[in-house]
């Protein structure tokens, strides 16, 4: 009791002392100025430690150190440049074309002199793509791309795992294609490299990001090819695409906005883990479901959609896919079938590390020996 009384007296004396100080000389604690401000990159790491340690268990420490380490890149050869010369120069750097090497070794061998049975149609990879990487454990860097003799850039540097959704889409000659969230443009460029697009709609809601996409196309694709392929760049709200152009496209890529895990750990600029963007981050799975639903509604019955993110989060990956399929079944009476992509693990096991326990789709996880990703991708066929 005496202690409580003593404390109360001291508090009163403090207040009394404060009141004797003229108002203009009083110091008030400015919380916004004095409280520690954690950078968004640190908030991202805290979030990942809390959620991904549960999701990945013993794998998380390895993934974590890889995410915090320097990322590996691939060099996507520009087929509109002198691609044979460019490929030879990249080979001289001791890089290898992981796409064609994998597809060549993955072709079924004939047995007892008989012709080998062709793989299922769902196994088909988009053709004509050439992407060079350095071997596992080799941390060499590619030199910056330069302008080639044909007036376009020789190759495009990208996370090589970002090519997997385009490969999984399985483009066929004459396809009508939609890239629903196209910027900054690496996957759009890869779609054009296949030579399969009868026409290509490349959309991004952000006009500034769509501007970056236009710069990529102008740097890598000749004007006559852009015209001939009828490349259309728009800045529409992708969530409404099913209403705008429903049942039209043979192939749709839905590479949605996400937490961009690696970027969030390294860059303060445009970091979604800033405190001011908390609500936006929490609403991401809803946005992703709306975009995937719009992409499926824009697809012809019998057409294919690939959904992808550069996040490890199952809430943004498998849960979005499963939730969207249920939504379309209940609200639109549309049946969607998830394609089996486990053959991708076997095809590209020499280049990437895959998470073995995805419920649907495939996930490339960062690994110090193969520091690509994260990249989640899931292929679906709209049945009705």
| Active site residues per annotation | 310
Residues 6+ apart with CB under 8 A from 278: none
Task: Give the single-character DSSP code of 171.
Answer: -
97 appears as a binding residue in the annotation: no
User: And the tokens for 218?
Assistant: 């102008």
Q: Is residue 185 annotated as involved in ligand binding?
A: yes
| Residue 250 assigned ligand-binding role | no
* Lookup: tokens for 250: 């043979």
How would you label 133-151 residue by residue, b for 16+ Cβ within 10 Å and e otherwise? Answer: bbeeeeeeebeebeebeee
The answer to the question of whether 335 is labelled as a binding residue is no
The distance of Cα 308 from the centroid of its chain, to the nearest Å, equals 6
Half-sphere exposure of residue 101: CA atoms within 13 angstroms, side-chain side: 14
Q: How far apart are CA 92 and CA 147, in angstroms?
A: 19
Q: Which of 253, 325, 323 is nearest to 284 (CA)?
A: 323
Residues ≥6 apart with Cβ < 8 Å to 340: 122
Does 255 count as an annotated binding residue? yes
List of residues 6+ apart from 270 with CB closer than 8 A:
263
Is 75 annotated for ligand binding? no
Q: What DSSP designation does 114 have?
A: P
- Angle CA 136–139–141, to nearest 5: 125
Q: What is the C-alpha separation between 178 and 251, in angstroms, rounded?
A: 7
Q: Is 187 annotated as a binding residue?
A: yes
Does the annotation list 125 as a binding residue? Answer: no
> Which residue ranges make up the annotated binding site?
181-187, 204, 237, 255
Detail the residues annotated as belonging to a binding site for S-adenosyl-L-methionine.
181-187, 204, 237, 255
């Amino acid at each position: 009791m005496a202690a409580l009384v003593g404390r109360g007296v001291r508090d009163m004396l403090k207040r009394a002392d404060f009141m004797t100080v003229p108002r203009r000389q009083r110091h008030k604690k400015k919380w916004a100025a004095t409280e520690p401000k954690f950078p968004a990159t640190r908030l991202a790491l805290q979030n990942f430690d809390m959620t991904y340690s549960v999701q990945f268990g013993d794998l998380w420490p390895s993934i974590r150190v890889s995410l915090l380490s320097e990322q590996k890149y691939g060099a996507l050869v520009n087929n509109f440049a002198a691609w044979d010369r460019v490929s030879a120069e990249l080979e001289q750097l001791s890089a290898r074309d992981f796409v064609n090497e994998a597809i060549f070794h993955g072709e079924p061998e004939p047995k007892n002199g008989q012709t080998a049975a062709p793989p299922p149609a769902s196994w088909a990879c988009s053709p004509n793509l050439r992407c060079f990487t350095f071997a596992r454990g080799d941390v060499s860097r590619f030199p910056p791309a330069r302008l080639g003799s044909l007036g376009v850039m020789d190759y495009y540097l990208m996370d090589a795992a970002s090519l997997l959704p385009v490969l999984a889409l399985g483009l066929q000659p004459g396809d009508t294609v939609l890239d629903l969230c196209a910027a900054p443009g690496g996957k759009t460029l890869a779609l054009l490299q296949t030579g399969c697009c009868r026409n290509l709609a490349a959309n991004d809601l952000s006009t500034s990001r769509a501007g970056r996409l236009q710069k990529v196309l102008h740097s890598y694709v000749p004007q006559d090819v852009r015209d001939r392929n009828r490349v259309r760049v728009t800045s529409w709200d992708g969530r409404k695409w099913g209403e705008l152009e429903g049942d039209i496209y043979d192939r749709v890529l839905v590479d949605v906005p996400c937490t961009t895990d690696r970027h969030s750990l390294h860059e303060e600029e445009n970091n979604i883990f800033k405190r001011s963007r908390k609500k936006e981050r929490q609403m991401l799975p809803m946005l992703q479901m709306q975009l995937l639903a719009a992409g499926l509604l824009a697809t012809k019955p019998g057409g294919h959609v690939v959904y992808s993110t550069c996040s490890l989060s199952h809430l943004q990956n498998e849960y979005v896919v499963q939730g969207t399929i249920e939504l379309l079944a209940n609200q639109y009476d549309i049946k969607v079938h998830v394609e089996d992509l486990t053959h991708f693990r076997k095809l590209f096991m020499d280049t990437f590390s895959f998470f073995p326990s995805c419920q649907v789709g495939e996930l490339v996880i960062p690994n110090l020996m193969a520091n690509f990703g994260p990249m989640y991708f899931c292929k679906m066929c709209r049945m009705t």
